[in-house]
Chains A and B, each alone.
Chain A
């Protein structure tokens, strides 16, 4: 296998802006001369269902899909989704997890419990960086920048230049939101967990 390949996975709930994240990473990696392939699930699952995506970065990428057990980093915008997709990670993989919970219908209707215990186990047994990006973003002024904060954390673990990240984010957000997004990225970049 090509050792340079980094497999980054995303998981979240429909409507959280996952596709924008895969787009930004893909573009940033490409700007720094990596080959990329990415993958998003869209459609029906936009409506509050589970969504996932991934980006593969390396010298030469064939398939956009990540094989089970070969994910390097999982960026999870929701804890239950972090749990669900954690099995696709390598044993020593990293999980960057937003702690804001979105309760599925079956939990809301009190048929099943939200798996708090299993999530605690996950945090104890795997390499997890947890952040309440949603609250932090609200404090900055706009809950929508939570994703960019998570990208800031991710950026620290990839060989893409900080300037490239920032340039790419600027290309993808509305002009008036650039400052806020830069602040969110910086906050993520220095976040210690």
Chain B
């Protein structure tokens, strides 16, 4: 994203944050890929002035960022909301120390759970960690606040949190570019009592943390980040922040609006001054009643969640409905009919995905309990595979399996357990849990761990991870999962090419039956990232016996259709969509599915 000062660009919130970091003279950027914030790091990597990396997990990413700040340079760490949970350990202590170079943590919250396992409001985590929190309303503000956050961070020596939501991350609006401002590194601050968090220094740091927030609260009194739009003659004040502000503006309410850009801390003095001018105070915010509770703690009477849903996004019709309930709109708003009730279209494994044969085999296997994890393969929980009994958080499947096995063994339940984990998740937080499996291990405990190694973080668009380099020359990490596990001390590890369906089926059967701990590393490149494109396959309807074995693999180009002159429905393949992975041909019991390449050779 080159561009000169004064140029206008239509940028997403993510792109705007990356640009803001560049303009602010940012030096170190780190992240772990997760929707909705993936693009932030991808875009910072464009600038050669910035060192950017997708780290192994969010905790490591945060540590890299802390190091950047500690060295005196400006640093930014971005992640999805649940990522902050992973990073929470270093974060909670880092916030006891002063920042040296400006430090910004970006969290992508997901109201409405568009692509997440939960919906957590990280403003709460921000307060818990004693961070200052900014909440932008559009892309221009996302850029401006990124810069402002780094300034505030350096001035008050406080790590800052930029809270952004999925909608804003991916929505585009006009942004005016500015030049990069080079910021001279301050160099490492070696003051041990400030940076080594052991008592008694850490006890003093508690006081520092409190005083620092008090100073920021004084700054909040008249910061331009918060704006008051007064409506003549109105006795009602609406308080809001983030994208909700612009949704509220669509409604054109007959009330004044106090828009908060700095949502924590809020100046008590300023809040009292402003709210005392109004009879009624209504807070409009997504997810938790954060601002509402802050005001109530100050003794300010206000309403909020009484009228607005505690979960999901607040779009224009939701705001209208809430304001109507509150008596601020005279006419009952029309309902928010979103779409026609019709056939649903849930996500599914991509055409040629190597995970598809794995779950097709598992569905037919004796595995009663399949413990799932976070990644593309989470889709196996959906129809038609329905092969996941739980999905909790990154890497949780391994530790949970141990707990399930130990509990079941005590009650003499011996049915096999199968656990799946992807390569990205394996490196992210699976490793320590694998180590833990070796502890108090009993020989007859039947657990089969399948590591789905497609050598990329596929769910978020194909970012690299520990094993990417084994398929891709440009990637510098070449960690072999099988070798790593062997070195750890596991003795039964098999490896199989996932596209070799028959061999995989046989191996799965053996390993699931094996009464002990076994690991299968299944290899198959992500069909999207590594652009699987081989000659397409087709169905010979005269041979097809309509058994639907191929259809059950759920590959998108497959479908039962009517052929002219044939009474029964027969299978078919959309050749424009087929990438030639061959799995359907391998499951066909009568060889009705053939490669177009083979048929060309035969001269058909």
Contact = CB atoms under 8 A, between A and B. Distances in A.
Nearest to B349: A47
Task: State the main secondary structure of chain B at its contact with A.
Answer: loop
Nearest to A143: B576
B354 interface: no
B35 interface: yes
A90 to B, nearest CB: 13
Interface in A36-86: 36-50, 55, 61-65, 67-69, 80-81, 83-86
B10 A62 contact: no
B298 to A, nearest CB: 29
Given A39-B167, A42-B36, A44-B459, A107 B339 contact: no
B505 interface: no
B348 A105 contact: yes
B148 interface: no
B171 A38 contact: yes
Nearest to A52: B339
Interface stretch (A20-28, A155-163, A174-182, A184-192): A20-28
B10 A118 contact: no
Nearest to A14: B347
Given A38-B10, A45-B347, A104-B346, A85 B339 contact: yes
Interface residues of A, number: 58
B167 A106 contact: no
A87 B340 CA distance: 6
Contacts of B246: 62-64
Contact of B383 (A62, A87, A106, A118): A106
Contact of B347 (A36, A49, A67, A68): A49
B337 interface: yes
A47 B343 CA distance: 17
Interface in B513-557: 551-552, 554, 556
B558 A108 contact: yes
A126 to B, nearest CB: 12
Contacts of A37: 138, 171-173
A105 B554 contact: yes
26 contacts: A13-B345, A36-B10, A37-B138, A38-B173, A39-B170, A42-B115, A42-B170, A47-B376, A47-B379, A48-B350, A62-B250, A63-B249, A64-B171, A65-B167, A68-B317, A68-B337, A80-B342, A83-B342, A85-B340, A87-B340, A102-B556, A104-B345, A105-B346, A108-B551, A108-B556, A143-B576
Interface of B: 8-10, 12, 35-36, 114-115, 138, 166-167, 170-174, 243, 246-247, 249-250, 315-317, 334-340, 342-350, 376, 379, 382-384, 459-461, 551-552, 554, 556, 558-560, 576
